[in-house]
Amino acid sequence: MYDQIASNKFKSVVLIIVFVLLVLLIGWVFGEAMQWGYAGLVLAFIAAFAMAWGSYWYSDRIVLSISRARPVDRDIEPYLVNTVEGLAIAAGLPVPRAYVIDDPAPNAFATGRNPENAAVAVTTGLLQAMNRQELEGVLAHELAHVRNYDTLVQTLAAVLAGSVALASEWMLRSFWWSGGRRRDSNSGQLGAIMMVVAVALAILAPFAAMLIQMAISRRREYLADASAAMLTRYPPGLASALRKIAADTNQLRVATKATESLFIANPLKAHSGGVAGLFNTHPPIQERIRVLEAM
């Protein structure tokens, strides 16, 4: 367990460095293509620093805002508050902030840079669909992510991937507005090459960011499932919850490609097999159920 925590902290540092370098590369190529000199690199450095700093300190707030999560109302959802508090105490964790997403699709996620600044969000669909044991299994799974520092890695990846996509879109729009013209119309073949490279990078950078997200081991879901089973002492509870989530046909409206990896199950319902299955952010949910039922 401690090895996993140390590994996730190391991955967080590497993740920030990789995304910052990717943004710097976008800025440098854009500056060369537009013949701005070092201005493009300087702008990219400022943007990359702001993204990395903001992602570390404010990524949880960003994700909760994107997901339209509201703080839980103890008077309306007292059982959710009591369950989170009880499981946190049993796991030896600070009690995380609890949030609710008003959406019929059953799902949940955890976020935060460390256990002291963690938050857990569940949908109203999850609260309505789950019985006590199933809800405990889902919340225990999310608390396991908090304890293992998975939330830091996942949330950083989500926010930084979205930042790279925005930087790439800004660069493409700039080319569109300028008509693809450089300041120096006599730049010749080298200028044309740089322009092609810049456009290609702007298109491919978001895809590269997505691959970096997927490079984060899917085994974190299996580990969180196992940790949840140990915490609740009842693996069938989480297995039954996953089965209900998989059978539900609603798609979570607030989920995006950047945030899908945060949820306990893929909210975009991308559970296809074969080659397409390689691009899923989660392991097959039926396999997770099988492992839990074998415990």
Percent of the chain with pLDDT over 70: 79
Contacts 24+ apart (CB under 8 A), 250-254: 250/103, 250/104, 250/105, 250/106, 250/125, 251/105, 252/101, 252/103, 252/105, 252/107, 252/123, 253/103, 253/105, 254/66, 254/67, 254/68, 254/101, 254/103
Task: Kindly report the CATH number that applies to the domain delimited by 68-150+218-293.
Answer: 3.30.2010.10
What's the pLDDT tens digit per position in 111-133?
988 899 999 999 999 999 999 99
Q: Residues with Cβ < 8 Å from 126, sequence gap 6 or more?
A: 106, 107, 108, 135, 138, 245
142 is catalytic: yes
Q: What are the boundaries of each domain within the chain?
A: 2-64+151-215, 68-150+218-293
Tell me the C-alpha distance between 136 and 122, whole Å: 12
What's the pLDDT tens digit per position in 268-293?
865 445 445 556 778 889 999 999 99
- The pTM assigned to this predicted structure is 0.76
Which position among 32, 134, 136, 142 bears the catalytic label? Answer: 142
